[in-house]
Amino acid sequence: MIADVAVPAYHGTMHFAEEILFAAGRRGPWAMFFASLIYFGLMYASFAGLGWLLFRRLLPALRIGRPIDGRPLKDGQIENEIRRSLGSIFVFSCYAPLTEYAYRHGYIHVSWDYQWPLAIFQLILLFAWNEVHFYVCHRLLHTRWLYRHVHRIHHESVVATPLAIYSFHWFEALLLGSVIFLPLFAWPFEFPALVLLPVMSLIFNTIGHSNYDVFAGTRYSASVEHSAHHHRVAGNYGFYLPFLDDWFGTRLSQ
């Protein structure tokens, strides 16, 4: 099990995360599941909550930037976004015992004796992988059957909010949640890169669903691009960067 691995001296900010992971590993798959549930739950509450306060309250009060889509939210939209996001967090957490099983049986490996320069480089690689993974999954979710039965739920938030960052059908959550699980079969990534990718992803996801243009008039704005996707549905399938939409001709004109 994960707890059976010989781990070197802790590395600063990763100390607490390592302690939790190894404590859960000693208690088996269910402990890994609940540790992941807490991890994703706290991240969602933190980023979605702070995003709501920042983009719906603080920046408008300071007259910094502007809302992108000024239409009112649908009745019950916030409640639905929170409820569905909690369901997605449950699905994401199901990958934790699967990962523990694969690790325990030698199907995947993690580098515990990590160096920060390499970890940062791998984090950049994983972020690039996240862009590709999201684009492919997103295009798939916009095929007719999957959009009608799965992805339509996310698009019920026509006016995006930070609380919608995890507002998915369970199958979409399962599909998108594989972004960390899959590359583990190809390479023993550094522990900090694996822990920090969801944090980085959630930061950019919150910006994309902010419905707020902080730097109005700039050449590229991820929040403007993704708000256009929620409004017009087809196009702008990328996660945060525009390159794949540019290369495959799916970027919407402003």
The conformational region for residue 233 under phi > 0 = left, psi -120 to 50 = alpha, else beta, is left
pLDDT per residue over 80-133, tens digit each? 999 999 999 999 999 999 988 888 888 988 887 778 899 999 999 999 999 999
- Mean pLDDT over 1-24 rounds to 51
Is 82 inside a domain boundary?
Answer: yes
Q: How many domains does the chain have?
A: 1
Please check whether residue 167 is in contact with residue 157, taking contact to mean a CB–CB distance below 8 angstroms: yes
Instruction: Identify whether 85 is part of a domain.
Output: yes
- What confidence tens digit (pLDDT) does each residue in 65-80 have? 889 888 999 999 999 9
- Name every residue whose Cβ is closer than 8 Å to that of residue 200 and which is 6 or more positions away in sequence: 123, 127
Per-residue confidence at 18, pLDDT binned at 50, 70, 90? low
Q: Which residues, including other chains, have CB under 8 Å from residue 152's CB and lie 6 or more apart?
A: none
Q: Is residue 134 part of a domain?
A: yes
> Which backbone phi and psi does 67 adopt, to 5 degrees?
-65, 150
Name the DSSP class of 162.
G
Residue pLDDT, tens place only, 185-237? 999 899 889 989 999 999 999 999 999 988 766 666 788 888 888 888 888 89
Question: For 110, phi and psi rounded to 5 degrees?
Answer: -130, 140
Distance CA 81, CA 168 (A): 8
Domain-located, residue 67: yes
- Which range marks the domain in which residue 117 is found? 2-248
The answer to whether residue 90 is domain-embedded is yes
Residue 116 lies in a domain: yes
Give the global pTM: 0.86
Mean of per-residue pLDDT scores for the chain: 87
Q: What is the pLDDT of residue 114?
A: 75
